[in-house]
């Protein structure tokens, strides 16, 4: 995984993020009553704020919901949406649905990996880009599709990959 080999610069960036965890978390939790079915919505909201689920946050959530930490960790690791490692500022998601597959999404992914120098589900060391694959974005008419920070880029080609990355993903 990407952060097993993060450099010193990345460590500093991460430390900065950690300091804000505690205060933000208390604020988030105050809007929930604390029933078990709220676990997933809480995790989703926390991840939205931090970009991933810091260990400290998972422990606090477990305490708040009166659940064993292992249960929280079990749920987190079950669902593809939850991340235990920080994500980059820009999230690039390459659709690997059937329609995209038959229209060449494997090549698009390969080109992204080559240009960013990381594999799918990794983050660049400067925390600038995260590369993910998604099972289907439901925009099959525009296959192959790449989604960068919620902006959908349809009818992608390997040549367009460079153009989009040069524009900072916009």
Partner 1 sequence: MNFEEIKGQAALQWKAMQQSETPRILIGMGTCGRAAGAEDILDVLNQELAQQNIQADILQVGCIGLCYAEPLIEVIKPGMPGVFYGNLTPEIIPEIVKDYLISGNPRSELALGIRGEGTLDGIPNLFDLPVLKPQVRISLRNCGNIDPESIDHYIANGGYEGLAKALRMKPQEVIDEIKKSGLRGRGGAGFLTGVKWQFCRDAPGNIKYVICNADEGDPGAFMDRALLEGDPHAVIEGILIGAYAIGATEGYIYIRAEYPLAIQRLRIAIKQMEEYGLIGDDIMGSGFRFHIKVKEGAGAFVCGEETALMASIEGKRGMPRSRPPFPAQSGLWGDPTTINNVETWSNVSAIFPKGAEWYASYGTEKSKGTKNFSLAGKIVRTGLIEVPMGISLREIVYDIGGGIPEGKHLKAVQTGGPSGGFIPESLIDLPVDYESLAQAGSIMGSGGMVVIDDDTCMVDITKFFLNFTQAESCGKCIPCRWGTKQMLDILEDITSGRGRPGDIELLQELAESVKDGSLCGLGQTAPNPVLTSIRYFRDEYKAHIEEKRCPALACKALTSYYIAPEKCQGCMICLRSCPAGAIKGGKRVVHVIDQDKCTKCGTCLNVCPPRFSAVVKTSGEMPAISAEPVPVGSASESHGDQQ
- From the list 9-17, 49-57, 91-99, 117-125, the region that binds partner 1 by CB under 8 A is 91-99
- From the list 12-20, 22-30, 49-57, 139-147, the region that binds partner 1 by CB under 8 A is 139-147
Q: If binding is defined by CB under 8 A, does position 74 make contact with partner 1?
A: yes
Which token pair is 40? Answer: 């997933």
Q: How far is the CB of 150 from partner 1 (least distance, A)?
A: 7
- Give how far Cα 150 sits from Cα of 57, 93, 144, 145, 169, Å: 25, 9, 15, 12, 10
State residue 131 phi and psi, 5-degree precision: -115, 125
Residue among 2, 96, 122, 129 that touches partner 1 (CB under 8 A): 96
Rounded-to-integer distance, Cα 46 and Cα 112, Å: 28
Q: In the complex, which residues of this chain contact partner 1 (CB under 8 A)?
A: 35-41, 43-44, 74-75, 78-82, 96-103, 134-143, 145, 150, 152-154
């Amino acid at each position: 995984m990407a952060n097993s080999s993060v450099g010193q610069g990345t460590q500093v960036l991460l430390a900065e993020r950690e300091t804000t965890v505690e205060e933000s978390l208390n604020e988030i939790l105050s809007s929930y009553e604390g029933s078990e079915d709220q676990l997933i919505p809480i995790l989703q909201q926390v991840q939205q704020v931090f970009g991933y689920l810091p260990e400290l946050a998972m422990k606090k959530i477990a305490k708040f919901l009166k659940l064993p930490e292992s249960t929280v960790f079990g749920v987190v690791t079950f669902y593809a949406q939850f991340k235990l490692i920080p994500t980059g500022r820009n999230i690039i998601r390459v659709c690997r649905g059937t329609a995209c597959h038959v229209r060449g999404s494997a090549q698009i992914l390969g080109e992204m990996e080559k240009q960013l120098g990381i594999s799918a589900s990794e983050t660049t060391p400067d925390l600038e880009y995260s590369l993910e694959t998604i099972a289907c974005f439901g925009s099959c008419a525009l296959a192959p599709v790449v989604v960068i920070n919620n902006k959908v880029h349809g009818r992608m080609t390997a040549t367009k990959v460079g153009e989009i990355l040069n524009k900072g993903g916009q």
